[in-house]
C-alpha cells in the first residue's frame, strides 16, 4: 500500500471516511477517525493530514492542546480552509477555576482573540485569501444543562432575556488589543453567529477583529441591537459600532449627515470591489443619500443594494402608525395567559390597525432614487419593511416583462420619477 501514488491514495482514504453533514455551513466533516491511517507511512500521513486539517472545529481548550502538542506546523496550516471557533467564558459555563482572570469576561475575550489570531497569522499566505473563519459564543452551560430536580425551574435563556429576567452582557476588546498582533491576509470570509442571547459580542468588537483581515472578501455578521432595559447601553453599543466601522478601510471620507450608523454605511457601501450588500437593521434614509445635500457619491461596483428596515428608525419614529379610520384593541399578556414580560413598558400587548408613515417612505424613495442613479452597475435596489402595513420599493434592471420600478404604497414625489427616468436613460 505504501507504494501507491498519492493520486490513488487520496480516493482510497476518502472512501474510508463516513461523513457527517452540517447544514448550517453546507459542509461535510469526517466522522470516522483518520489518525490510525496516518500511522501507516509518511506518505499516508501527508494525505490524511490534508483531509483532517482542511476543516477545524476549535475552542480555547482545543487550541491550547494543539499549541502545546506542536500540531500546527506550517505544512499542516497550509491545508486549512475552514475554522469554526467557539468562545468559552468560564464564569458563565459553571467552570471550576482558581484563576481570577477567568471571571473577567473582557480579559477572557482579549486573551482568547490573541491566542486565536496568533495561530491565524501563521497560516501561509497565498496569492488569494483562502480561509473561512466562523466564530460564535454558544449558550452558557448554566442555561443549556437539562433541567433536573431542583433545577426544573431554570429559566430558558431566550425567554429570560426577552422577559427581562436575564440581563445581557456585552464583551469588548481593549483599544490596544492588537498592539503586537500581525495582520491576517489568509482570511477570505468572516462569519459571526449569534448563539447565546445573554452573552454577546459588542458590535464594535467585531469591527476591531475585522480590521486585521486585510484581504477580506465576504462578511456575514449576526449582531445584537435589541437591548431594551438599558437605553443608554443600547445607544452606546450602536454609537461605538458606527465609530469603529471606519476601521474597515473605506475609499470615501466622512462628511454625510444623518444617523451615525446610516452615515457610516453610506460610505462603506461605496467601497470599490463591493458587489452585493444586504442589511436588516434600524437605519434611516441617509444610508442611501444625505438629506438636502448634493454630494459626489459613487457606487462603482455595487450591483445589489437590499435593505430591510426594523419597525423603529434610529430617530425613534415608527414606520407603522395607527390608522384611526379603523378600530384596534389593547390587551395584557397576563390576562391572555401569556408569559409575563418584566421589561418596563412592554408588559402589555398592543394591537391596532396600522398604515405606514408616508413621510418616511417619501424620504427613503427620494434618497434611494438618487443613489440608484450613481450605481453604474445596478441590478437591484430594494427597501422592504415586513410590518403590519405594506411598505417597500423595488428597482430592478434584470427582470424582463416586469415593472422596472415598483412601489408598495403611493408616494407622490415628482423628484423620484425624475431620478427613475435618469436611471433608465443611463
What's the CA gap between 123 and 131, in Å, rounded?
9
* Angle of CA points 141, 230, 315, to nearest 5°: 125
pTM of the model: 0.64
User: What b/e sequence results for 181-211 when a residue is b if at least 16 CB atoms lie within 10 Å of its CB, and e otherwise?
Assistant: eebbbbbbbbbbbebbbbbbbbbbbbbbbbb
Which residues are CB-contacts of 93 (< 8 A; sequence separation ≥ 6)? 140, 141, 142
At 264, is the secondary structure helix, strand, or coil? helix
Task: Note the pLDDT of residue 186.
Answer: 94
Task: Note the pLDDT of residue 2.
Answer: 61
What's the CA gap between 398 and 388, in Å, rounded?
29
| Total number of residues shown for the chain | 426
What's the CA gap between 164 and 167, in Å, rounded?
7
Please say whether the dihedral angle defined by the alpha carbons of residues 330, 334, 340 and 343, taken in this order, is positive or negative.
positive
What's the CA gap between 218 and 189, in Å, rounded?
5
- Mean pLDDT per 10-residue interval, the chain, length 426 residues: 65 64 56 64 73 89 93 93 94 77 90 95 93 93 64 66 81 87 92 89 92 87 76 85 74 51 92 94 91 88 94 80 66 48 50 79 90 93 83 82 63 54 50
Asked if residues 235 and 203 have their Cβ atoms less than 8 Å apart, the reply is: no
* Angle of CA points 107, 108, 110, to nearest 5°: 65
Place of cell 476588546: 173
Task: Note the pLDDT of residue 253.
Answer: 37
Domain locations along the chain: 53-249, 256-319+357-426
- Which one, of 360, 384, 373, 356, lies nearest residue 417 by Cα? 373
Indicate the angle between helix axes 231-245 and 203-210, nearest 10 degrees. 20
C-alpha to C-alpha distances, 248 to 207, 209, 243, 315, nearest whole angstrom: 7, 10, 11, 26
Report the DSSP beta bridge partners of residue 85: 58, 135
What's the CA gap between 261 and 314, in Å, rounded?
9
C-alpha to C-alpha distances, 214 to 54, 91, 116, 248, 312, nearest whole angstrom: 22, 33, 16, 9, 34
Task: Note the pLDDT of residue 110.
Answer: 94
What's the CA gap between 308 and 202, in Å, rounded?
22
User: What b/e sequence results for 300-331 when a residue is b if at least 16 CB atoms lie within 10 Å of its CB, and e otherwise?
Assistant: eebbbbebebbeebbeeeebbbeeeeeeeeee
Give me the phi and psi of 183, to 5 degrees please. Answer: -70, 165
Asked if residues 101 and 108 have their Cβ atoms less than 8 Å apart, the reply is: yes
Amino acid at each position: 500500500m505504501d507504494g501507491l501514488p498519492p493520486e490513488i491514495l487520496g480516493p482510497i482514504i476518502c472512501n474510508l471516511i463516513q461523513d457527517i453533514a452540517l447544514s448550517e455551513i453546507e459542509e461535510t466533516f469526517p466522522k470516522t477517525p483518520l489518525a490510525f491511517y496516518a500511522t501507516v507511512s509518511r506518505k499516508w500521513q501527508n494525505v490524511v493530514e490534508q483531509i483532517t486539517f482542511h476543516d477545524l472545529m476549535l475552542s480555547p481548550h482545543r487550541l491550547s492542546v494543539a499549541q502545546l502538542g506542536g500540531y500546527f506546523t506550517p505544512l499542516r496550516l497550509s491545508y486549512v480552509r475552514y475554522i469554526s471557533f467557539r468562545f468559552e467564558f468560564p464564569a458563565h459555563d459553571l467552570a471550576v477555576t482558581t484563576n481570577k482572570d477567568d471571571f473577567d469576561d473582557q480579559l477572557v475575550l482579549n486573551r482568547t482573540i490573541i491566542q486565536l489570531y496568533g495561530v491565524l497569522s501563521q497560516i501561509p499566505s497565498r496569492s488569494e485569501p483562502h480561509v473561512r473563519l466562523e466564530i460564535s459564543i454558544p449558550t452558557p452551560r448554566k442555561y443549556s444543562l437539562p433541567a433536573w430536580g431542583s433545577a426544573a425551574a431554570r429559566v430558558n435563556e431566550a425567554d429570560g432575556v426577552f422577559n427581562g429576567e436575564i440581563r445581557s452582557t456585552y464583551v469588548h476588546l481593549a483599544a490596544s488589543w492588537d498592539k503586537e498582533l500581525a495582520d491576517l491576509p489568509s482570511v477570505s470570509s468572516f462569519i459571526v453567529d449569534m448563539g447565546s442571547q445573554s452573552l454577546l459580542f459588542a458590535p464594535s468588537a467585531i469591527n476591531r477583529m475585522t480590521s486585521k483581515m486585510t484581504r477580506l472578501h465576504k462578511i456575514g455578521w449576526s449582531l445584537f441591537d435589541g437591548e431594551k432595559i438599558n437605553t443608554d447601553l443600547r445607544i452606546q453599543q450602536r454609537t461605538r459600532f458606527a465609530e469603529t466601522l471606519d476601521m474597515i478601510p473605506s475609499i470615501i471620507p466622512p462628511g454625510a449627515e444623518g444617523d451615525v450608523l446610516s452615515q457610516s454605511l453610506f460610505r462603506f457601501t461605496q467601497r470599490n470591489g463591493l458587489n452585493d450588500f444586504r442589511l436588516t437593521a434600524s437605519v434611516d434614509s441617509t444610508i442611501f443619500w444625505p438629506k438636502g445635500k448634493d454630494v459626489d457619491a459613487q457606487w462603482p461596483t455595487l450591483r445589489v443594494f437590499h435593505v430591510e428596515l426594523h419597525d423603529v428608525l434610529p430617530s425613534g419614529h415608527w414606520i407603522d402608525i395607527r390608522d384611526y379610520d379603523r378600530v384596534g384593541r389593547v390587551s395584557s399578556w397576563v390576562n391572555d395567559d401569556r408569559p409575563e414580560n418584566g421589561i418596563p413598558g412592554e408588559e402589555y400587548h398592543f394591537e391596532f390597525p396600522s398604515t405606514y408613515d408616508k413621510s418616511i417612505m417619501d424620504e427613503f424613495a427620494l434618497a434611494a432614487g438618487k443613489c440608484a442613479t450613481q450605481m453604474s452597475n445596478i441590478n437591484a435596489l430594494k427597501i422592504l419593511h415586513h410590518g403590519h402595513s405594506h411598505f417597500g420599493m423595488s428597482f430592478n434592471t434584470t427582470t424582463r416583462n416586469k415593472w422596472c420600478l415598483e412601489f408598495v404604497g403611493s408616494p407622490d414625489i415628482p423628484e423620484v420619477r425624475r431620478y427613475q427616468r435618469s436611471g433608465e436613460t443611463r
